[in-house]
Structure 1
Amino acid sequence: MTVLRTTPEAEATGLTAKIYDDDLRSLGYVTTHTKTMAVNPEAYEAFEGLLGTITAGMDLRRYELITLAAATAIGSTHCRLAHGLKSLKAIPEPELLRIARDFRNAGLSPAEVAMMEYAEKLSANAAAMTKADGLRLREHGFSDREIMDITLVAAARNYLSRSLLALGVELDRPPTLSPELQDALLAPLETRHSQA
């Protein structure tokens, strides 16, 4: 559990109250990671603004695939679960189950697999990235702007996921996620950590 003291919902005012209200409207409750990040509400709002700018021209499916790949490489159960839920707006649950278990063998297009592998590598070891990684995306038809946006989405996920991990934020299990999808989103991470 995080060492930070978060603002209880009943005591939230100003920007913190607005941030909490956004969660209430979209999810029906305020997540533990929102409460933690709202300890600095201005930074949280700036991050959300940056993410909105990056993804303005990106479809939700692409954004969620990049996010899931990055979160998996980082080891972020918080973001895997939160974005598993958000992904259901763009990806049917049977397909999402396959992606969560093994995106390379989930029936995705070669371009989507390449994009996810790029986000995975950036998140696992950015220092190992080379020009070849970007060129591979170009070979799959991504424009320079798309390559930049894929990179920025993965990098932004690193910012948030690593902050939550560093602060020891309590894991939130979205109540509307099916148990099967929760298990699929958590299993690769549990396996990876048990083998480490």
Structure 2
Amino acid sequence: MTDAAPPISRYPVPALEAMPEDIRARILKVQEKSGFIPNVFLMLAYRPDEFRAFMAYHDALMDKEGGLSKAEREMIVVAVSAANQCQYCVVAHGAILRIRARNPLIADQVTANYRKADITPRQRAMLDFALKVTRQAEAVDEADSAALRGHGFGEDEIWDIAAIAAFFGMSNRLANFTSLRPNDEFYGMGRS
């Protein structure tokens, strides 16, 4: 007798065959590339219109060329997700950060305490700002942008830092609300 696998989410996960074609195609493409289906795709497929909107904004923020590096974008996600105690996003995006930064330690360091992590002063300023947007958005002002400009960030990069922090604040809340479980595959990714 084996134990049943824990549920992916508190909400039902639709069968792949029952999903709208565009969503099924995106999920299968991700599965082909990574070798598994990240549970966030399955959880969001419960609400197809929101799946599409979520993925469109995610892609606009995380896949754009220029500005912040892909590793810096993931670093923001990990720091914000750690502050919001989002297990799914810390584990999943921690794996992506390890791969994009080509550093098996960085995600664990940023998760535990980015202020002590082996990051540059520029990256620390970026994460300080992202955490202010996460925890005290009402207190963000021009001085915050001026400090970031002093580290070489342009206006579009400052927008991206804030937008990534805000988007993943929403994502973290949905993942926590639905009890979204990280895929086991994420834990070992990028560690060797």
User: Could you say whether these structures have the same fold, taking a TM-score greater than 0.5 normalized by the shorter chain as the test?
Assistant: yes
Contact persistence 1:19–1:38 (CA under 8 A): no
Deviation at 1:84, TM superposition (A): 0.9
Matches within 5 A, 1:74-93: 74-91=84-101, 92-93=103-104
Query: What letter matches 1:64 in structure 2?
Result: E
Partner residue of 2:57?
Answer: 50
* 2:73 corresponds to: 63
Which structure 1 residue ranges, 4+ long, deviate > 6 Å from structure 2?
Answer: none
Equivalence for 2:108: 97
Equivalent position to 2:187, from 165, 169, 177: 177
Q: How many angstroms does 1:46 deviate by? A: 2.4
Query: Is residue 66–residue 154 contact of structure 1 (8 Å, CA) maintained in 2?
Result: yes
Give the drift of 1:10: 4.8
Structure with greater proportional helix content? 1
Percent identity of the aligned residues? 21
1:22, CA displacement in angstroms?
3.3
Q: Quick check: 1:71–1:80 contact (8 Å CA) kept in 2?
A: yes
Tell me if the contact between 2:106 and 2:117 (Cα under 8 Å) persists in the aligned partners. Answer: yes
Q: Which structure 2 segments of 5+ residues have no match? A: 1-6
In the alignment, which of 35, 45, 48 is matched to residue 41 of structure 1?
Answer: 48
For residues 114-193 of structure 1, what are the structure 2 equivalents within 5 Å?
A: 114-166=125-177, 168-178=178-188
Match of residue 9 from structure 1? 16
The superposition leaves residues 128-171 of structure 1 with CA deviations (integer Å, 9 ceiling, x where unpaired) of 323322222122111111101111111111121111222x2332
> Taking structure 2 as the reference length, what is the TM-score of the superposition?
0.81
RMSD: 2.3
Q: Distance in 2 between matches of 1:154 and 1:80?
A: 13
Deviation string 1:69-95 (CA, Å, 9 cap, x unpaired) is 111121111100010111122221033
Structure 1 length as normaliser, TM-score? 0.80
CA–CA separation in structure 1 for the residues paired with 2:112 and 2:169: 21
Please, which runs of 5 or more residues in structure 1 have no aligned partner?
A: 182-196
Deviation, 1:96, is: 3.1
